Amino acid sequence: MKKYMVDARGKQCPMPVIEAKQALAEAAPGEMIEVIVDNEIAVQNLTKMAKHKQLKSAAEKKGEREFSVVIEAGDEASGTDGQVSVAVPEEETAMLSCAPDGKSNGLVIVLSSNQMGSGDEVLGKLLMKGFVYAVSHQEQLPEKVLMYNSGAFLSCEGSDSLEDLKELEAQGVEILTCGTCLNHYHLEDKLQVGGVTNMYDITESLLQAKKIIRP
């Protein structure tokens, strides 16, 4: 199956969306379009465009300033004359934003356990999975997600919450896991999303936060 690659790094809004639309118009249904961008705003606009067109998409942070958005092409026609249109319709122009959105400055979510609440372990893990998923689908996102103690398992290999945490990171949320905790649980080589932090930075983040949520 053919895969289209669009390198939109360094291009200003709304060019990444326009180039993605061009590739989608050329692609056959089921083919994948991978768009590489260098900022969270472009990621937000690309995923919004895909959602607007009812197309499947997935976003991932590849590096410090490198994000990948993969969109599966649908059966959208490219036009009656066979020409590819790269214009963004008015309803989609209104949907796009060339400024960051979605993040609530000062909101920090603390995940100090891989379970939510006390009681049954299986239920607690299921509730935590649901919580992280729900956070990733909110209009207002946190500025940071801090994970320590057994919460460190959530950002590591084998976690059911990895894709949701990667989605949050792709939208500009800072994902941080306690390094001491990773060492304690022998997870140093299993971290799959975000960065490693320390108690000094965790303390500073909590003291400076306007609001802290700990499920």
pLDDT in tens, 124-140: 999 999 999 999 988 88
User: Both 191 and 120 in a single domain?
Assistant: yes
Which residues, including other chains, have CB under 8 Å from residue 82's CB and lie 6 or more apart? none
CATH code, domain with 190 = 3.40.1260.10
Q: CB–CB of 43/170 below 8 Å?
A: yes
What pLDDT sits at residue 86? 44
Domain that holds residue 152: 103-213
User: Both 75 and 162 in a single domain?
Assistant: no
Geometric angle at alpha carbon 131, from 62 and 168, rounded to 5°: 20
Which of 95, 122, 154 delimits the end of a domain?
A: 95
User: Both 124 and 208 in a single domain?
Assistant: yes
Which of 95, 129, 153 delimits the end of a domain?
A: 95
User: Both 129 and 200 in a single domain?
Assistant: yes
Considering only residues 126 and 97, tell me which one the structure prediction assigns the higher pLDDT.
126
Query: Omega before 89 cis (within 30°)?
Result: no
User: Both 107 and 204 in a single domain?
Assistant: yes
How confident is the model over 89-98, as a mean pLDDT? 54
Work out how many domains the chain is built from and give that number. Answer: 2
* Distinct helix (H) and strand (E) counts, the chain: 7, 9
Q: How far apart are CA 215 and CA 201, in angstroms?
A: 21
User: Both 122 and 89 in a single domain?
Assistant: no
User: Both 40 and 83 in a single domain?
Assistant: yes
What is the value of pTM for the model shown? 0.58
Taking alpha carbons only, the member of 133, 152, 141 closest to residue 106 is 141
pLDDT at 69 over 80: yes
* 177-186: Cβ within 8 A, 24+ apart: 177/147, 177/148, 177/151, 177/152, 178/146, 178/147, 178/148, 178/149, 178/152, 178/202, 181/147, 181/148, 181/149, 181/150, 181/151, 181/152, 182/152, 182/156, 185/150, 185/152, 185/153
How confident is the model over 186-214, as a mean pLDDT? 93
Which of 64, 95, 126 delimits the end of a domain?
A: 95
Considering only residues 135 and 78, tell me which one the structure prediction assigns the higher pLDDT.
135
Q: What percent of the chain has pLDDT over 70?
A: 86
Q: CB–CB of 96/45 below 8 Å?
A: yes
